[in-house]
Structure formats: structure tokens, C-alpha cells
Amino acid sequence: MSLGLLPLYAQQSGMAQAMAQAAAKGSAAPVRNAFDAPGSREAIRAAAESLHALLWVIPFILIAYILLAYVMIRFRDKGDGRKPASFHENNPLEFLWTVIPLIVVVSVALHSYPTLSFMEFGGNTPAMTIDVVGHQFFWEYKYPKYGIDISNDTLVVPANQVIDLDLTSVDVIHGFYVPGLGIQMDALPGRITNLWFKAKPGYYKGQCTQLCGADHAQMLISVQVVPEDQFQAWLARHSSQTAAPPPSPAAQAAALPARLSEANSAGRQARGKA
Amino acid sequence: MSTQVATAGTIQPRQYHGVLDWITTTDHKKIGIMYIVFALINAWFGGSLAGMIRLNLYNPDWHLFSPQLYNQLMTMHATIMIFLVLMAAFAGFGNYLVPLMIGARDMAFPKLNAFSFWLLMPAAMMLYGSFFVAGGAAADGWWSYPPLSTAQFSAGHGEDLWILAVLLLGISSIMGAINFLVTVIDMRAPGMTWMKLPLFVWSWVVTAWMLVLAVPVLSGALFMLLSDRWLNTGFYRPALGGDPLLYQHLFWFFGHPEVYIMILPGFGMISHIIPAMSRKKLFGYKGMVMAMWSIGIIGFTVWAHHMFTAGISSTARVYFSMASMLISVPTGVKIYSWLASVWGGVIRFTTAMKFALGFIFTFVLGGLSGLMLAVVPFDILVHNTYFVVAHFHYVLVGGSVMTLFAGTYYWFPKITGRMLSEKLGSWIFWLFFIGLNWVFMPMHLLGIEGMARRVANYRIEFRPLNQFISEGFIFMLAAGLLFTYSVIKALREPKSAGDDPWQTNEIETHFEWATSSPPPAYNFEEIPEIQ
Amino acid sequence: MEHASLASSAAAAHAGLHADPSEHAPQPSFWPILLAGGMGAVVFFVFLVYLGVPLAGILLAAAILGSLVAASGWANTIAVERRRMDPVQTNKDLTRGFFFFLASEAMIFVSYFEYLYYTHFTSAQWPPAGMPRLETTLPGIATLILVGSSFTLNWGIHAFLSGRKSAAKNWILLTIAMGIVFLGMQGFEWGFLNGVMGFTITTGAYSAAYFLMTGFHGAHVTVGLIMLGLVYWRMEKGEYTQQYHMSLKAAEYYWHFVDIVWVFLFFSLYLFQGH
């Protein structure tokens, strides 16, 4: 169903052409989250790590649930005058159910550290650094290498290259979250936080995850990961234009509130047609 | 009743009647009842806000509320539910039961106890009144993170009133906690050694310690926030060398223990109900006590897992991930011990027992998602999404509220002398149990799909699940209505419960069941003693 | 009505229990709700004063006055009621409660210290650029005076316990005087920093922390001085005996607490400046 949104986002970002090309190649399916369609190695590893943790913990949950069901059936009062048991401690048993879960959670935690380390430091040789600046209520992307500064638009990056994002904010705290790429980091005023990813071509959606004011819900993120040649074409198009200053916050605010509902109704229309 | 004429030289107790009786009372039982009624009334307000939230999210096209108003509803829902419902309800049961359970005639400081309760009133008035000031109520979430909550971005005075109200609530909690600690330390009946304390009392000892140490840190953080707003200081202002991240550290240093403050007394309640309804002594008493202390102590060392994506260092992420995971060990000990308490028993499926066993089911799920969230790579995928909303509602509704229902059904006869209808109780349990799973289970999926929390509006692909969730709210609403009706209905019946309607004392001696229902003002004619 | 008693034979033997159990029911009182309402009103009127609402200042003054009346009415009721209670037990309760209260007070200071140290260690330099180094000589003397006042208070209490009442009163007076001198020196430093150095509460995070911590501590010193003043007054009236002097002990603990906090504060704010 999210396919229906594509034309709108494409139009909005001036990417209609590139999108159509990408769609023709079959790479434009929207990536929704790290579990059913991961778009980067980070997302894959994070999802795998989650499943690993889940697999180790599930047995303990299952034991609890099976025991719960069992005792409820087996020990209910059947009115046969059965006397309740009288035991109320068992040190070996208590020792076991303390120590075994302890070992398991420690090993789950330890197991997750290489993944965490990869997610933090795996991209130490970035091909490109992009400055991401949070505003109430839009994102500004600066490509220092190319002198490009775009606001309230799709973030376009080349595929299969390490992209480094330096996040900051000019006003309140925002959260940069793109689940399909397995990335999330807050953008705080007065400090720079850091993210990296290396993605497959595709279209990734995200949104601001840190309550940032009235129009927090409108602060969407779209990331277009395109093959190198298309990226160059995009660069050429943007470099030829004189870099327009970002719209004033007031203009942004005026333009915003309708956006999500427009997106939604456009999405529905497109879906209806499809 | 064997009453002797008061001897000369003693003071005849003064007695007021009607409303004056309630507002002047220093009787821990009456104060406890007032806390519980206060919590129930506020649960209706907080629940109505939840209903409005769910209505707004039913369809993103409706635009039922402006986003600003939505943020106010969301913020106030959390504030009311945490401070005026859960904390007040547990304080109410604690007030009522702790002196009874330790065989005392009252709290150590009865007047301070009344003061703690009455301080809730100005705080509640300021919270509710803030909807009507210019700019409306606080709209920055119950974390109230700066810079959003500074005067620059939240100019409305709702935020000021919110801070002042929470400061007052903090004083109330600290005074209440000190009272509990002194009561339990000094006023136990003869023979009631520490390792004979009922577990509900133990749970309040741990909770009170956490309140005494955690709440002041919130007060300090909020005081600095208020100073930034009013005096134009730069505590959290980056341009002046301040750091908004520091507020998060201070807030969560309070905020995480706060979570355990809201669940530990519930653990204590379950530890009474399960043995009584299984006709068997509690399994692993020592382990239970140690588990609560472990939770209480480790709970102070895990706060930054709320900040995994806030830009904290790699080392901090590794440490806080490990520490957060460790908390699941004592929690697991408690779950298994409760199950072992049932093992070999003769279960009576009363409503209290249904809620207690239902609590185990839902709380284990809340624990599972909590453990998952402690795995940092997973947390990055779902932090600040509906997965987190699902997680803490499983803990606070599937945990705390379920235990409160269980506790209400179990101790209602003691408090009022009347039984709640078991027939209605069964309906209430199933409506609530189905409703809460219906509402909160799909939120896990929404989070995994990537829907951020605290949004007034969402992308259309999230609509079907949101509508499904909103429909489930009707079940919880029905349970709430039916429960309120059941309470009112029971209160109109004659007092026929008897001293020990669940025959608890046939299994193990508990003082509260050894006195009449409801107990006399002085609790025990003679101070009981453990042999 | 029946009252089950679990160990009736043993229970009757407990010391201090009177025959009429209703005598042990706590007394009703209007003071708690009045004080709670008064405190709520104080907080709300502070808000109105901040808003600049006309007459809010008068309302605030009235609310503060009302709270003080409620608090002293409460204290008076307790003093009357305690005459029929077990004084040893009551004092034990109050002392314990007071210690827990100090623990939570300490945690407020902990949050400020955490603020200070966090800011310290995340700054490129300390004091931060453009901020003056704090002068240590005068505060050093103030520290000696405040720490010394802990000793004079202890000697006073020692004198009181060994029956030398006039010496005790003199020591307490000296303690109060030292506290006032300390506050005066702090006030001088505030004035100097504010007026001469242009180091005000809005200059930066560092100055905000400085004024918050010293100000919050100064408020505690003031409360401690009021407590000592009340202690002196009660001693003058001869209300303390060798056994019953709970408020004397409370004032003593509070004063020592304020001193200890200052020692940490002096180290953290004044001595620990190089970085």
C-alpha cells in the first residue's frame, strides 16, 4: 500500500525522473523496516542481532508461559478436598533460575557488542559527509563536498558507498530515524552526533522521533539511494542551479500542516487508481 | 467491643463528622481510602485523555485536535497516569495496609501523612487548570526535554504550571516515603523481625528508599529548568555553555527508578494474593526480598538506556545495555517464584487471582520487550517508536494496573467490609485483559514498522493498525465503567465480608486479616505479636 | 464486633499500652490540609508574581504568612500531644525521619554537583572562556568560619548536656554570629561578582551553576540560622531538659549537614578550577 505514496514523494523532491528510471529497474520498492526489507548492512546486522537476542530469551518466556498454563490446569481447585503442598523453598532451584538467566543475558549483551561497534564505527572511511541540520519542522541537508544545501527535500545519496551523516540542530532536539537503513540518532543543538550507512539502491522512509513541537508528526524523512550515475546526474542538476537559501521557518511552518494529509490523500488516490 | 472509660489525665479523642471528619483525619486508613478514590477519579480523567488520543489517531484525516492540543493531551495523559493515578493508588494501598500488616496503630507521622495527601490537591488543580491558561497545558511530553521546554520554544504558561505541580508532587512523595520508612523501621509489632515482614511491606520499603533518593534529583533538574524559563539562565542552553543532554541524564536518573516505584508495590501485592488463592505459603521469600532489593539498587544504575540514541558515548551504551539486562534476572526470579508458589496448591480462581495470573502473562511480555530494548542494535531500530509505547504500557498497564485490580479485589473486603461481585469481576477481568492486549500488542508491530511515538498524525500505511488499536480501547473503557459500577454497587450492600474472607490466615498469619473488616480506628485492640 | 487478637496473652503485657485502645487512634487535625493548601497557594502565587499579576505580591505574602501560622499551629499540636506519648520512641522516630529528609536534601545537591562536574568535564577549559577565576582567599576564610561554627555548636551542646546552660547559650550565640558572618561574606562575594566582575546568573552555564549552588546553600544556611535562633529562644525559656531536646539535636544535624555540603562545594567550585 505504501507504493501509492511514491509518485507524491517523487514529485515533491523533484525526483520524478530518477524515480521512474529506478522503478523501471525494479529497485524502487519502498523499504519499510529493517526486518522485512533491510536496506543496509547495518540494518541487516541489527535485525539479526535482535533475532539472536529473541531466540535466547524466548525459551525462558516459554517456560514461564507453559508453567503458567500447566499450574492453572493441574492445580485448580477441583473440589476433591486435595490438600495443598507445603514446600516453600528450594535453594538449588532458586540458584539455578538466578544463575542460568544471568549467564544468558550477559551472553546476549556481549554478543550484541560487535554489532553495536559495527553500527558505530564500521563506516570510518566515508565517501561523503553530509551535514544534517534539524529545524522546526524540516531537515536541511548540506553536501559540503559539492556546495549543495537543500531543505525540506529528499536526501539523495549514492548506493554502496559509506555515507557519513553529521547531525545537529538549530533549535530543539530532533531524532533522525530511517528504520530501513537501521539508523537512528538524535540531532541536538550545540553538539554534533554522528551516523553512517552504506545502502542498497532504494527509497527509504523515516521521520523525526524526538518530540520537537506542534508539527513533530510532519517532520518526515525520505532517503533516495541511487546508483552512482544517477547521483551524478542529480548533482549536476543541483549544482547548475544557484543554491537557494532554505525557506524561512515561518514560510515552512505555513506550508507544513497540510503536507501529511495531502500526502495521505494523494496516496489513497494513487492506491485507488492502482 | 471492650471499651473502658478513659482514665483521668488522658485526652479524649476529638471527633469530627461528615466532610470535616475526612479533611481533618490523620487515620492512615481514611487517608489511604482518599488516595485510592483520588487515583480512581484521576484514572477517569487520564483514561479520557487516552480515549481522545486514540480517537485522534483513528483516522489521520479527521484532524480532530490540533497537533498542539494533541501534544497537550499526550503530555497530560502521561503526567496524570504516572503521578496522580499509579503513584497515588499505590500510596493509598501502602497507607492503608502497611501499618495494619506490621501490627501498628498508625503511621509514624499521621499528620505528615495527611499533609502528603492534601498536597496532591493544589498540584492536581494546577495540572488541570493549566488547560485553561494562555497557550494551554504543557505539551512537551512528560520528560519535558529542553530546549523544547524552555521559554523560547514553549512560551505558554502550561509548562510553568506543570513544573510547579510536579515539584509539589515531589515534596508529597518524599514526605510520604519518609513516613513509610520510619513506620516500618520503628513501629513493627513485637516479634516482627525484618525477615518476617510481609512482602507488600518490603516492597514499600524498597519503593520508599527509591523515592527518597530519586525524586530530589527530578526536583533539582526541574528547578534548573524553571530558572532557565524564568530567570533567563543558561543551565540547558548550548549558547551559554549549558547542555540539554544533561537534563536527560538528570531526568532519567529519576525517571528510571520511577518505573520501579510504580511496579514494586504491585509485586508486593501479587506476593500476597497468589499464596492466599493457592492455599500455599509463598515460595522463596528470601529470594523475593533479595530480588526486590536488587531491582531497587540496579534500577539506579541503568538510566541512560533511555538515551541510547541521544549521542552518548560508545562505552556508556555498552555499560547501560549490560546493566539494563541484569535487571531482568531478579525480575525473572520473581516470576518463577510466583509460579512455584502456585505449584502444588489448590487454586481458587477468584477475580483477584485472575488478575494476578493475568498480570504474570502480560508483565512477562513487558519484560521481554524491555530486554529486547536493552539490546542496543535493536533499540536503534525501534527507539522512540510505538514499540517503546507498547513496552511501557505492558509494564504499566499489564503490570501496575493489573496488580492494582488484583489488590483491589483482594483487599476491598478488608477496606470496606463488603465483597465486590465475583460475577462482574470475571467480566471486568476478561474485558480488561482482552482490551489491553488488543490495544498494546499491535503497537509492537507499529513500532517495528517505524511509526514514531508522540505523533498527532501519521502516514497512511499505519492506518489499519491504528484503527484496530483504537477499537480495542472500547474494551478497556467497558472494563473501567463496569468496575466503577461494581464498586458503587458493592458499597451499597451491607457489611458482610467478615474478618478474613479469603481464609488467608489459615495459610500464614497476616495481621490485616486478624482484625475486623473494616478495622477500627485504632486497628488492633491489642498490638498483635508474632509467635 | 469482634477483634481477633493473635497472641492475646502476650500482647497485654506490652509496656506502654493503655487499656483503652481508642486513645491510640491519631488525633484529627486541620493543620495538614491548611499547610498543604498554604504551600500550594505559595507556589501558585509565586507563579502569579512571575506573571506580574497585580496584587500577587500581597497574596503571596498572605499565603506565606498563612503557611507559617499553619506550620506553627502544627508544631504546637505536636508539642501538646507528645506529652502523652512515649518520648523516647517519638524522638527516635523524628530523628530517623529527619535523617531521611537530609538524605533527600543531599540528593538535590547531588543533582547540582552532577550538573557542575558534567559541565566542568565537557568544557574545553575551566573556568569556561570569558569567565573569571573565582577568588579563593575570602571564601577560604568563610569556609574556616563555617566549619568552625560546627565546632562551636558542638561545644555548646556539650556544655548544655553537662549542665552549663549559660555557656551553652553563649556558644550557640557565637555559632549564629559565625553563620551570619559567613552569609555576609557570601553576599559580599555575590555583590563583587555581580557588580564588579559582571559575572551574573545569566552570563553562562558556569555562572548559573555557581549562583544556584551557593544560593541554594545560602538558603540552607539561613534556614539553619532560623532553627538555631529558635533553639536559643527555647533554651532561654528553659524548655529543654537533659532528656528532651529533640529540636536541639535536629538543628545540630542540620547545621552539620549544611557545613559538610559547603566543604564539598568549596572544593568543587573554588579549589577545583585548574583544568
pLDDT of residue C107: 96
| Domain membership flag for residue C17 | no
Residue A196 amino acid letter: W
Q: What share of chain B is helix, strand, coil (3-state, %, to 5)?
A: 70, 0, 30
The catalytic position among B150, B331, B337, B351 is B331
| Domain membership flag for residue C9 | no
| Domain membership flag for residue C135 | yes
Domain check: are C128 and C63 in the same one? no
Higher confidence at residue A240 or residue B67?
B67
Q: Is B28 a catalytic residue?
A: no
pLDDT at A184 over 80: yes
Domain check: are C160 and C245 in the same one? yes
Closest Cα in chain A, distance from residue B312 (Å):
9
Domain check: are C104 and C180 in the same one? yes
Closest Cα in chain A, distance from residue B82 (Å):
19
The vertex-B227 CA angle with B81 and C129, nearest 5°, equals 130
Residues 372-401, chain B, touching A (beta carbon < 8 A): 372, 374-378, 380-385
Give the pLDDT confidence of C125-165 residue by residue, as tens digits: 888 888 888 888 999 999 999 999 999 999 999 999 998 98
The catalytic position among B27, B160, B258, B500 is B258
Domain check: are C79 and C122 in the same one? no
- B347 to A72: CB separation less than 8 angstroms, yes or no: yes
pLDDT of residue C4: 38
pLDDT of residue C81: 80
For residue A244, what pLDDT band results from cuts at 50, 70 and 90? low
pLDDT of residue C225: 97
| Domain membership flag for residue C19 | no
| Residue of C50, C115, C201 to mutate, testing the B interface (most B Cβ within 10 Å of its Cβ) | C115
Domain check: are C141 and C207 in the same one? yes
For residue B460, what pLDDT band results from cuts at 50, 70 and 90? confident
Whether residue B248 contacts residue B307, with contact meaning beta carbons closer than 8 Å, is answered with yes
The catalytic position among B25, B207, B271, B421 is B271
What residue in B sits closest to C23 (Cα-Cα)?
A: B13
Domain check: are C41 and C129 in the same one? no
Closest Cα in chain B, distance from residue C249 (Å):
18
pLDDT of residue A158: 96
What residue in B sits closest to C30 (Cα-Cα)?
A: B24
Average pLDDT of span B112-134? 96
Residue C141 has which C-alpha cell? 576564610
Number of domains in chain C: 2
Mean pLDDT lowest among A248-262, B446-460, B474-488, C185-199: A248-262
Give the pLDDT confidence of C156-212 residue by residue, as tens digits: 999 999 989 899 999 999 999 999 999 999 999 999 998 888 888 998 899 999 999
Interface chains of chain C (3 or more CB pairs under 8 Å)? B
Domain check: are C74 and C109 in the same one? no
Residue C162 burial by Cβ neighbours in a 10 Å radius (0-12, 13-18, 19+)? exposed
Q: Is B260 a catalytic residue?
A: yes
Closest Cα in chain B, distance from residue C195 (Å):
17
The catalytic position among B130, B173, B341, B403 is B173
pLDDT of residue B52: 96
A100 contacts: CB under 8 Å, gap ≥ 6? none
For residue C19, what pLDDT band results from cuts at 50, 70 and 90? very low
Q: Does the beta carbon of A62 lie under 8 angstroms from any beta carbon of chain B?
A: no
Higher confidence at residue A123 or residue C258?
C258
Domain check: are C106 and C60 in the same one? no
For residue A239, what pLDDT band results from cuts at 50, 70 and 90? confident
Average pLDDT of span B425-434? 98
Average pLDDT of span A23-29? 42
Strands A155-158 and A220-226: parallel
pLDDT at C9 over 60: no
Q: DSSP states of C190-237 as a string?
A: HHIIIIIS---TTS-HHHHHHHHHHHHHHHHHHHHHHHHHHHHHHHHT
- Just give the CATH number of A11-75+123-246: 2.60.40.420
Higher confidence at residue C45 or residue A237?
C45
Q: Does the beta carbon of B147 lie under 8 angstroms from any beta carbon of chain A?
A: yes
For residue C1, what pLDDT band results from cuts at 50, 70 and 90? very low
Closest Cα in chain C, distance from residue B2 (Å):
8
pLDDT of residue A252: 56
Structural domain spans, chain A: 11-75+123-246
Given B4, B121, B185, which is nearest C19 (Cβ)? B4
pLDDT of residue C23: 62
pLDDT of residue A138: 93
| Domain membership flag for residue C264 | yes
pLDDT of residue A250: 57
For residue B38, what pLDDT band results from cuts at 50, 70 and 90? very high
| Domain membership flag for residue C21 | no
Interface chains of chain A (3 or more CB pairs under 8 Å)? B
Average pLDDT of span A45-64? 93
pLDDT of residue A263: 52
Q: Is B256 a catalytic residue?
A: yes
Q: Kindly report each contact of residues A95-103 with a partner whose C-beta sits within 8 Å and lies 24 or more positions away, as own/partner.
A: A97/B332, A97/B333, A97/B336, A98/B287, A98/B329, A98/B332, A98/B333, A101/A60, A101/B328, A101/B329, A101/B332, A102/B326, A102/B329
Residue B261 has which C-alpha cell? 516505584
Q: Is B172 a catalytic residue?
A: yes
Distance from C-alpha of C211 to C-alpha of C250, rounded to nearest angstrom: 27
Q: Is B458 a catalytic residue?
A: no
Domain check: are C112 and C236 in the same one? yes
Q: Does the beta carbon of B140 lie under 8 angstroms from any beta carbon of chain A?
A: yes
Q: Please give the helix or strand (H or E) that residue C174 lies within, else none.
A: helix C165-191
pLDDT of residue B5: 38
Q: Is B173 a catalytic residue?
A: yes
Average pLDDT of span A162-182? 95
Quote the mean pLDDT of chain A: 81
| Domain membership flag for residue C90 | no
C273 contacts: CB under 8 Å, gap ≥ 6? C126, C127, C133, C134
Q: Any idea what the CATH number is for the domain that residue C231 is in? A: 1.20.120.80
Average pLDDT of span B246-271? 96
pLDDT at B309 over 90: yes
The catalytic position among B30, B272, B280, B306 is B306
- ipTM of the assembly? 0.92
pLDDT of residue C11: 40
pLDDT of residue C7: 39
Average pLDDT of span A129-158? 92
| Residue of B240, B251, B303, B511 to mutate, testing the C interface (most C Cβ within 10 Å of its Cβ) | B240
Q: DSSP states of B467-521 as a string?
A: HHHHHHHHHHHHHHHHHHHHHHHHHTS-----S-TT-GGGTS--GGGGS-SSPPT
| Domain membership flag for residue C48 | yes
pLDDT of residue A247: 58
Mean pLDDT lowest among A233-242, B408-417, C252-261: A233-242
Higher confidence at residue B187 or residue A6?
B187
pLDDT of residue A268: 44
**End-to-end CA separation in angstroms for chain B:** 25
Give the pLDDT confidence of B48-93 residue by residue, as tens digits: 999 999 999 999 888 899 999 999 999 999 999 999 999 999 999 9
For residue B119, what pLDDT band results from cuts at 50, 70 and 90? very high
Count CA atoms within 13 Å of residue B251 on its CB side.
20
Which domain does C188 fall in, by range?
A: 98-275
pLDDT at B510 over 80: yes
pLDDT at A16 over 50: no
pLDDT at A259 over 90: no
Residues 233-252, chain B, touching A (beta carbon < 8 A): 238-239, 243-245
